Copies of this chain bind each other. A is one copy, B any other.
Amino acid sequence: MAWTLARLEALDREDGLSAFRDEFRLPEGVVYLDGNSLGPLPRGTPGRIAAVLEQEWGDGLIRSWNDADWIGLPARVGDQIAGLVGAPAGSVLVADSTSVNLFKLLAAGLALRPERTVILTEDGNFPTDLYVAQGLARHLGDRHTIRNLPPEALVSALRPDVAVLLLTHVNYRTGALHDMAALTGAAHRNGTLVLWDLAHSAGAVPVDLAGCDADFAVGCGYKFLNGGPGAPSFLYVAPRLQAGIRYPITGWLGHAEPFGFHADFWPAAGIGAAAIGTPSILALAALQVGVEIALRAPMRAVREKSCRLGDILIELVAQECPDRQLALATPREAAHRGSQVSFRHPDAYPVMQALIAHGVIGDFRTPDILRFGLTPLTIRYADLWRAVSVLRDVLESGEWRREVHRARRLVT
C-alpha cells in the first residue's frame, strides 16, 4: 500500500511521543532532519541559561561554585547521561570535547596494554577518531600502528597485538549500527580493550554499556542530547578500570583535593580523575536541559519511532523518487541502523543545498551522501511527506544544477 500524507498524519495522531515536539523551538517552514548534527533548541534552555547568568553568576558570583553546586555539575549531568547509556552512577563525567576525551581514553587504554602496539579501527570511522589516534601514536614516538579495516574484517583482525579497538557505534555517514555486545565480547576474548564513540547513539538508540561490559566510551552533547552548539562531551570508564587508570592529561579538577593546591598530582577517586580544567557552566547547564528531556522519553518508544521513521523514509523515497540516481547507503534492516537514513547521489552536495533552500534541512557528507537524521522527539511522520516531496521536486526539476546551489558552502 502506497504511503500517503493521510496515512502519515494518522500515525502522528497515534504517536505517544508527539508531545515532546512542543518542548523544542523549531522555526516555521522548516523540516529539520539534521538533529544528529545539531539538535534543536529546547524551549526550557533560554530560561535556564538566563537564571545561570543573572542569579548564579551575576548575583552569586564566585559563591555559586558552592551555593549553586557548579563544582558538582559535571558529575551530576554525567550521572544523568549514565541513565541514557546503561551505565552505573559514578561512571560518566561531562568534560571537554569528544576529541579530547577520545585522546584521554585512548591513551589510558594504551597504557593499560603496554606490550601491545596496534589500535584497531574502522575504515570510514569519523575523522576525529582517526586523527586523535594518529596524533597520539605520533606523540608516543610511532611505536603504535593504526589499522583501519572494513567493519566485516574487524573480528578476524583481533590478534594478540591489538591494544584497543576504537569504534563509533553508529557510523556518521551510513548510519550502520555496530553490535556492541558482540564486538566487545570478541575484543575481550582477545585481551583487547574497547573504546566506543557514542556520538550518534546517546539519546538515539538503546545503549547498554554495563550490559556489554564496555571498557570506555565517549559521546557528544550537541546531537541527540540537544545540548547546543559545541556542547561538552561525556566520557565513560568502567568502574572496574577506574582505580588503575593513568590519564595523560592531569589537571587541577582531577586532583583528589583540588582546593588543597598541592604541588603534586594525585588523582581523585573514581570518574572524577578524568576531569582536567574548569568546565563551562553555561555549556553544562544547557546540556542538562537537553539531557533531562531525553531522560523523560522512554527509549523503547524512541527506538520504535526511529525505526519506523527510517523504514517509511526509505519506502517513500522509493515510491516518490524512482530512477533518480538515489542509492540507499544505510542498512535496509532497521535493527542494523542508527537513527538516520542516508542516500548516495552523484551530485549530493548541490542537491542538499537545494533541499535546504526549500526548508528541508539534512546534511551532505563527502563525497556523495545525502544524510537525513531522524529525531523521534521532534519529527512528525507527516514531515517525511514534505521532505520527500521536496526531494522529488528538486530532482525532477534539476534546479540543483543551478550555480547557486553548487557554489554555497555548507559547514556542518
Contact = CB atoms under 8 A, between A and B. Distances in A.
Contacts of A247: 135
Copies in the complex: 2
A277 B233 contact: yes
- Residue among A46, A56, A126, A280 with the most chain B CB within 10 A? A280
Contacts of A99: 249, 251-253, 276-277
Interface in A63-100: 63-66, 70-71, 96-100
B27 A59 contact: yes
Given A70-B229, A264-B130, A41 B53 contact: yes
Contact of A229 (B34, B54, B228, B280): B280
A138 to B, nearest CB: 7
A410 interface: yes
A189 interface: no
Interface string A275-309: 01111111110100000000000000000000000
Given A99-B252, A100-B277, A250-B135, A66 B409 contact: yes
Given A58-B27, A135-B248, A411-B71, A97 B276 contact: yes
Contacts of A65: 38, 229, 411-412
Interface of A: 25, 27, 30, 32, 34, 37-38, 40-41, 45-46, 49-50, 53-54, 56-59, 61-66, 70-71, 96-100, 103, 107, 111, 123-124, 126-128, 130-132, 134-136, 138-140, 148, 173, 222, 228-233, 246-255, 258-265, 276-284, 286, 356, 361, 363, 365-366, 409-412
Contacts of A34: 61-62
A103 B249 contact: yes
Contacts of A264: 130-131, 134
A145 B337 CA distance: 50
A411 B66 contact: yes
B53 A230 contact: no
Nearest to A287: B280
Contact of A230 (B32, B134, B248, B278): B278
A61 B97 contact: no
Contact of A58 (B37, B41, B130, B148): B41
Given A103-B249, A250-B134, A280 B411 contact: no
Contact of A62 (B38, B57, B230, B259): B38
Given A130-B263, A229-B282, A255-B131, A249 B61 contact: no
A106 B93 CA distance: 25
- Residue among A139, A249, A279, A412 with the most chain B CB within 10 A? A249
A131 B252 contact: yes
21 contacts: A25-B54, A27-B58, A32-B61, A37-B62, A38-B65, A45-B53, A61-B361, A70-B229, A97-B251, A98-B277, A99-B249, A127-B262, A128-B252, A131-B255, A134-B264, A135-B265, A229-B278, A230-B279, A230-B281, A280-B280, A280-B282
A326 B286 CA distance: 43
Contacts of A53: 41, 45-46, 49, 228
A274 B366 CA distance: 24
A107 B228 contact: no
- Residue among A32, A66, A276 with the most chain B CB within 10 A? A276
